[in-house]
Amino acid sequence: MTGLGSFLRQLARDIRSQTLRTFLTTFGIIWGTVAVALLLAFGEGLHRQQIKSFAGLGDHIVIAWPARTSLPFQGLGKGRAIQLDEADIDFVKANVENIDAISTEYSRNLRLRLGDQGRGVEVSGVSPVFGELRSMVPAAGGRFIDPIDMEQRRRVAFIGDQLATELFGDADPVGREVVLHGSPFTIVGVMVAKEQDSSYSGRDHSKLIVPSTTFRAITGQRYIDNFIYRATDPKLNKQVSSQIIAALGERKRFDPADSEAVSIWDTTEMFVFFDNFMLAFKIFLGIMGALTLVVGGIGVSNIMNVVVEERTREIGIKMALGARGSSILAQFVLETMVLTAVGGAIGLAISWAICSAVPAAGVTRFVGTPVLSPQLALLTAGILGLVGLVAGYFPAREASRLDPVIAMKL
C-alpha cells in the first residue's frame, strides 16, 4: 500500500505541475480512442446494414430464368426457347443433391379490385417455401401460403406491406376479400416491412403472392417464369447450379456448357464481394484511427520526457539509495500506462454514448447502427496498451540509465 500510495502521490504531483500539458496529452489519447472506436463501430454497423438489405431479396439464394440456347446441340440449332414447367423442376429435385429448398415462380400483372377501386398489381404464383427463400415474414395474426393452399388450389393471397397500406389504410387486411383477375381472394397474411435494395420484378412490398396451383388455374399459364433455390451450404451454390443446368440440359436437350440457355443470378456473390470489400474498408478505418491514436501516444511520450527531466535529481537520489534501474523503468512505464488508460476509458465512454445516440437520430437506415462490441472494445484497449507501452518505455529507459552521481548534480 505504501508503494502504491507513493506512486499515486507522485503521479498527482506530476499532473499538477504540468496541468495544461497533461490535459492536452490526455485529450489526444481520448480523441484517438474515439477515432478508433467510432470508425470501427460505424464500419461494422454499415456492414450489417448492407448485409441486411442484401438479405431482403433472399438469404444466399440463386434465381434462374429459362432463356434461349446459344449453342447447337445434338443436331438442334441455337436460339431455341427453353420452357420449363413443374415436371421439369420435380426432375431437378429428384436428380440434384444438396438442394435445401426450391420454388417455381409465375409472374404476371393482374387486375385487382377492392370495392369500386381497381388497379394493376404484380402477382406471383409460388410454393410455400418461397416465403422463407425470399425473406417474406408474415406479420402477427397472418401467415404465408401453405401446402394445403397448394393442394386445394385455394384462392388466398399474401400481400406486401406497402400495397396493404395503399388498399386498406390502417385497417387490418387479414380476412378481407379482394377480386383478382375476376376471382375472389382472401388475404391471409401481410408481409413485415423489410429493407430490400435489389429485386428482379419489383419490390416485394408492392406484390401479391398466391399459390402457384391457383395462379395456373386462374390464368391458364403452364410454363414458369423463373425458379429460386438455395443449397444446403452457400458454398455449394455454384456446384448445385452446375448440376441443375446439367440435369435440365439432359431433359430439355441443350448443351450443359451453354451459359445462356438458363440465366443464373447467384446472390451469394453479392455477399462475398461485400464481405471482402467491407473487410478492406474496416482495415482502412482501423489504420486511420490507429494513426490518430499514435499521434496521441507521441504526446504522452513528450510529457514523460519532460517529467524525466524535471525529476532527474530525484531519480539520482533514489538510485544512490539502492533503487535499481528496473524499478525506475517500471515506475515511469506504469505512470504512462495509467495516463493512457484514463484517456482510453474516457474515450470509450464517449464512443459508447455516441453509438447509443445514433439510433435516436433516425439515420440508421443509411449508416446502420454502430456496434461497439466487446471484441471492438478489447481491440481498442489492445491498441491503447501498445501505444502507452511504447510511449512510456523510451523516456523510462533513459531515466533508468542515468548515472546517479551526475543526476544528483543536475
Q: What is the pLDDT of residues 307-337, one digit of tens each?
A: 666 666 666 666 666 667 666 666 767 777 7
Same domain, 73 and 195: yes
- For the chain, give the longest Cα–Cα distance: 105
- When the pLDDT of each residue in the chain is averaged and rounded to a whole number, the result is 83
pLDDT tens for each residue of 82-136: 999 999 999 999 999 999 999 999 999 999 999 888 899 999 999 999 999 999 9
- pLDDT of residue 376 exceeding 90: no
Section 256-281 average pLDDT: 84
Claim to verify: residue 6 and residue 94 sit in the same structural domain = no
Q: Is residue 43 domain-shared with residue 120, that is, in the same domain?
A: no
Whether the pLDDT of residue 2 is over 60: the answer is: no
Question: 238, 266, 294: which is the final residue of a domain?
Answer: 266
pLDDT at 56: 75
Q: If pLDDT is split at 50, 70 and 90, which confidence band does 1 have?
A: very low
Q: Are residues 193 and 333 in the same domain?
A: no
Both 195 and 308 in a single domain? no
Least confident span in 187-196, 209-218, 255-264, 318-327: 318-327
Pair 79, 187 in one domain = yes
Q: Is 251 helix (H, G, I), strand (E, B) or coil?
A: helix
List pLDDT tens digits, range 188-197: 999 999 888 7
91 and 184 within one domain: yes
0.85 exceeded by pTM? no
Please check the confidence at residue 392 and state whether its pLDDT lies above 90: no
Q: Are 406 and 312 in contact (CB under 8 A)?
A: no
Q: Is 291 in contact with 381 (CB distance < 8 Å)?
A: no
When pLDDT is cut at 50, 70 and 90, the band that residue 402 belongs to is: low
Q: Find the mean pLDDT for residues 213-241.
A: 94
Last residue of a domain, which of 233, 266, 299? 266
Shared-domain flag, residues 41 and 100? no
Selected residue with higher pLDDT from 112 and 25: 112
Structural domains in the chain (count): 2
Whether 233 and 301 share a structural domain: no
Q: What is the mean pLDDT of residues 47-75?
A: 84
Last residue of a domain, one of 227, 246, 266: 266
- Residue 388: how many other CB atoms lie within 10 Å: 27
Question: What confidence score (pLDDT) does residue 155 get?
Answer: 97
Containing structural domain, residue 136 = 62-266
C-alpha pair distances (Å), 102 with each of 48, 107, 214, 305, 335: 26, 16, 18, 69, 64
Q: Give the pLDDT confidence score for residue 219 in this predicted structure.
A: 94
Question: What percent of the chain has a predicted confidence (pLDDT) above 70?
Answer: 79
Q: What distance in Å separates the CA atoms of residue 138 and residue 204, rounded to the nearest whole number? A: 12
Q: Are residues 50 and 84 in the same domain?
A: no
Is residue 41 a contact partner of residue 371, using CB atoms and an 8 Å limit?
yes
Strongest mean pLDDT among 17-21, 97-101, 330-334, 372-376: 97-101
81 burial level (CB within 10 Å; 0-12, 13-18, 19+)? exposed
Q: Domain check: are 338 and 223 in the same one?
A: no
Interval 39-61 mean pLDDT = 79
Long-range Cβ contacts of 346-352 (<8 Å, 24+ apart): 346/26, 346/30, 346/33, 347/29, 347/30, 347/31, 347/32, 347/33, 347/34, 347/37, 348/33, 348/37, 348/372, 348/377, 348/380, 348/381, 350/30, 350/34, 351/33, 351/34, 351/37, 351/38, 351/41
One domain for residues 158 and 261: yes
pLDDT confidence bin for 7, thresholds 50/70/90: low
Please compute the mean of the pLDDT values over residues 200-212 and round it to a whole number: 92
